[in-house]
Amino acid sequence: MKAFVTGGTGFVGANLVRSLLEKGFEVRCLVRPDSRLENLQGLNVEIVRGDLIDEQLAQSMQGCQVLFHVAAHYSLWQRDRDLLYQSNVLGTRNVLTAARKAGIERSIYTSSVAAIGIDPRGQPTTEQYQSPVEKLIGHYKKSKYWAEQEAIVAAQFGQDVVIVNPSTPIGAYDIKPTPTGDIVLRFLQRRMPSYVETGLNFVHVRDVAAGHLLALEKGKTGERYILGNENLSLKQLLDELSQITGLSAPARSVPLWLPLSVAWIDEAILTKFGKAPSIPIDGVRMSKQPMYYNPEKAIRELGLPQTPIRTALEDAVNWFQENLSVQPIVRR
């Protein structure tokens, strides 16, 4: 069976491509002309150049039976609003339309827990909850919500589409890195003197890749599955990194108004004078409350694996040390 993959050069996509190859799939990856290819280096994959909004995308999919639409534009900067909607919403619409024209038998769309929002009742959020779109913080979350609606509508009109919603992946091949990978990297580089009081649901990126394949095999058309694992505060995550590396975890938290003030000055004022912002306002606003999720549906219906988060952190630490400029650490 041949799989067409968008976003194969990215963090989740690179792990998915490896899982597909291990399962015996032939893989064709859509790659933008300016994409970095390090994450696909040495892999037996077919590469086609193009973009999510290409009019000839259906031709690129010819001969493939399944689609994994993983690609998305991630940015919390308010200046990227238009690009977010173009790539994530219009791009998803075009990719799914092309899949239908190309005769793709089943599509797996990679959404995000960002599209779901946070249950205001204070309990870990499940697939049954949906935040009103106007209450989702920032244009990234809103764009993922509207992109997921494209997948839902496609399924309602008879296209075989299954939706997966990864939480916060950790592991190898985080090449950019992602915001969570950046936390790990900054910790290793001794650039994290403090932290904010927040929390996230974390999952090994290999489990996210496995969840995509399980969704292909067992997922129900038109339904969504949270691909997550453990809910941890940021402080707990940093303490776990300390145990793994022997480096000291930051001991003090900072009140939210402090990074929010810095972000506002950065993004609202200094950018007008040509300064690149360092902290996105929306990123700080998101940390106001823990973003905890319940992956029980994916565990029960798909058999989603639950690799310990410590293993995910160890894999991330090892990959960053081997691939990026990180000073040697003394492990306990």
DSSP string, 243-278: HHH-PPPP-EE--THHHHHHHHIIIIIGGGGTPPPS
The answer to whether position 178 is within a domain reads no
In this structure, the number of other CB atoms found within 10 A of the CB of residue 23 comes to: 13
pLDDT tier at 316 (50, 70, 90 boundaries)?
Answer: very high
Could you list the residue range(s) of the whole structural domain that residue 297 is in? 2-172+200-229+289-307
> Span 307-311, mean pLDDT?
98
- Position 252 scores a pLDDT of 75
pLDDT tier at 290 (50, 70, 90 boundaries)?
Answer: confident
Residue 326 has pLDDT above 50, yes or no: yes
- Position 171 scores a pLDDT of 98
Residue 254 has pLDDT above 90, yes or no: no
Residue 200 has pLDDT above 60, yes or no: yes
Helices and strands, number each (H, E), in the chain: 12, 12
With 0-12 / 13-18 / 19 or more C-beta atoms within 10 angstroms meaning exposed / middle / buried, residue 115 is buried
- Position 76 scores a pLDDT of 67
Q: Nearest CA to 4 among 49, 51, 46, 55?
A: 46
The answer to whether position 133 is within a domain reads yes
> Span 248-266, mean pLDDT?
57
pLDDT tens string 129-188: 999 999 998 898 999 999 999 999 999 999 999 999 999 999 999 999 988 898 899 899
The answer to whether position 117 is within a domain reads yes
In this structure, the number of other CB atoms found within 10 A of the CB of residue 236 comes to: 15
- Position 138 scores a pLDDT of 84
Residue 237 has pLDDT above 50, yes or no: yes
Number of domains in the chain: 1
Copy the structure tokens of residue 123.
């309990």
d(CA 298, CA 280): 32
Q: What is the largest CA-CA distance in the chain?
A: 56
Higher pLDDT, 277 or 75: 75
CATH number at residue 74: 3.40.50.720
The answer to whether position 58 is within a domain reads yes
Higher pLDDT, 126 or 76: 126
Is 42 in a helix, a strand, or coil?
coil
pLDDT tier at 280 (50, 70, 90 boundaries)?
Answer: low
